Structure 1
Amino acid sequence: MTIRRRECLALLALFAAAPARAGEAGPAGAFAFDKPGGGSLALADLAGKPILVVNTATACGFAPQFAGLQGLWTRFGERGLTVIAVPSPDFGNQEPLDGTAIAEAARKNHGVTFPVTDKTHVRGAGAHPFYRWAAEQKPGQTPQWNFHKYLVGRDGTLRAAFATPVDPSDPRIVSAIVAELGQA
């Protein structure tokens, strides 16, 4: 049986465009965030699971969204969703705390039990590599303030971006998470 050149190229294109299988890290798996107090949170360790990455600030007027993020973590965490808070000083320096004090304030004031990273820049020349990658993937949908949300799919690709005012309980976020969890 002979395969013509055009068919061969079409098959190669199909395989190249296919999403990573569950368990493979995909593009986002190349990134890791520093943890307060040392160590790192590698996205590759979460391969095959959807991840909601949110730049946060404990002194921001949108800080009540921590409760909604906790609600998503509580509702979907056992099904595979990971929510990651990435405290950032980039917007009015509304993250005045450092290190473990940030995670403690989020826990004490908002009931947060999901992972909280060390303070991280999310925009500009000093932005964390994940945020530079996300800006390339979703131009025009970059953080303009605290509580911008990125949904990384099970295959490690950037599936969606949600601006600050979009509450974590918004049906657009919930349905995007459910769609990712539904893929097995």
Structure 2
Amino acid sequence: MTSLSDFDETRLGGATEALSAYAGRVVLVVNVASQCGNTPQYEGLEALYRQYERQGLAILGFPCNQFGEQEPGTSAEIAEFCSLTYNVTFPMFERIEVNGAGADPLYRWLKRETPGSGDADVEWNFAKFLIDRDGRPVKRYGDKFPPADIAGDIEKLL
């Protein structure tokens, strides 16, 4: 059975990272964008990360430009925006596609394997997927779902 640990992704800056680095942790995977109405969710995501990181939470941000071209910047521009505007400290990865023929394998897996997801396309920036300590997706949250409201589900898995 496939798990989060079976994937490799590229961090902002170009280094490949095996997602097995997050084995044994609760992980929230989020497709993000810098010029979106949902962009202020970075603040809530960072707050969750700071609150629960020591207990085993990881948040992985994946910039995506598929929705209204709201993430047009270079990797360096994305990193700078996240750092200066929202003081993001959780891991950020290179821009990917989440839907269609070019969808990243991680997102194809998340959409297919998350209970209740039904292999449905990601609807917009800041959709969230919660993964348990065994590397299996357990829940999907829509783009408008506030990060703070995920805290209870995170606590159950920690």
Give TM class, smaller chain.
over 0.9
Distance in 2 (CA, whole Å) between partners of 1:141 and 1:160 is: 13
Equivalent pairs, count: 155
Structure 2 residue aligned with 1:40: 16
Q: Which residue of 1 aligns with 2:156?
A: 179
CA deviations on 1:156-175 (whole Å, 9 max, x unpaired) are 100110000101011xx111
Instruction: List, as ranges, runs of 4+ consecutive aligned residues in structure 1 with deviation greater than 4 Å.
Output: none
Which runs of 5 or more structure 1 residues have no equivalent in the other structure?
1-15, 17-25
State yes or no: 1:168 paired with 2:131: no
TM-score, with normalisation over the residues of structure 1? Answer: 0.80
Comparing 26-35 with 101-110, greater Cα deviation is found at 26-35
User: Which residue of 25, 29, 40 maps to 1:49?
Assistant: 25
Q: Percent identity?
A: 36
Letter of the 2:82 counterpart: A
- Select which of 65, 69, 74 maps to 2:50: 74
The normalised TM-score by structure 2 is 0.93
Separation in 2, partners of 1:142, 1:46? 25
CA distance, structure 2, for counterparts of residue 103 and residue 168 of structure 1: 21
SS at structure 1 position matched to 2:59: strand
Q: 1:129-168 counterparts in 2 under 5 A?
A: 129-137=105-113, 138-139=117-118, 142-168=121-147
| Structure whose alpha-carbon radius of gyration is higher | 1
CA RMSD of aligned residues (A): 1.4
Segments of structure 2 that go 5 or more residues without pairing to the other structure are: none
Determine if contact 2:5/2:19 at 8 Å carries over to the other structure.
yes
Q: Is 2:39 the partner of 1:83?
A: no
Q: Distance in 2 between matches of 1:179 and 1:120?
A: 30
Q: 3-state DSSP class of the match of 2:134? A: coil
Partner of 2:81: 105
